[in-house]
Amino acid sequence: MTERIRLVVDGKPTLLDADPALPLLYALRSELGLNNPKFGCGLAQCGACTVHVDGQPTRSCVMPVGAVRGKTITTIAGLGTPDQPHPLQAAYIAEQVPQCGYCLSGWMMTAAALLRDRPRPTDAQIREALAGLKCRCGTHMAILRAVKRAATS
């Protein structure tokens, strides 16, 4: 049954009429037209759908929208702006990371939470935080360079 669900998405108070069991990813993409979080596996295995829920990286493909009622959702579009990019966004450009870009949202949202909590992570901490994310284009080394660049910027 449809219910009215209140969220804050990328800084904007948002009302949504949706089945509370609808995955947050579907709500963001289909109901709100935000296509940055991607559908990869739908099983919490690849990370392409990762967004922040109250600051925590969350795989939105398996998170019912009813479970995040009243919470703050941040997608990659809410990290920065073209004029004022997040340090990771600037570093991704500087390191020319993306190939197809499909995985980008998951890696960047996960790394953004890492840098917020550990502004100067070691290589091992970066690898541990990003373990479990998938990039079929094989950009892993470029991603590591970008996270390190962002950490020292």
Confirm or reject binding of residue 57 to ligand FES (CB under 6 A).
Answer: no
Amino acid at residue number 153: S
Q: Decide if residue 47 touches ligand FES (CB under 6 A).
A: yes
Helix (H, G, I), strand (E, B) or coil at 64: strand
Q: How far is the CB of 13 from ligand FES (least distance, A)?
A: 25
Residue closer to ligand FES, measured from CB, 13 or 71: 71
Q: What phi, psi does 91 have (nearest 5°)?
A: -70, -35
Closest to ligand FES by CB, 46 vs 53, is: 46
The interface mask with ligand FES, positions 26-45, x = CB under 6 A, is -------------xxxx-xx
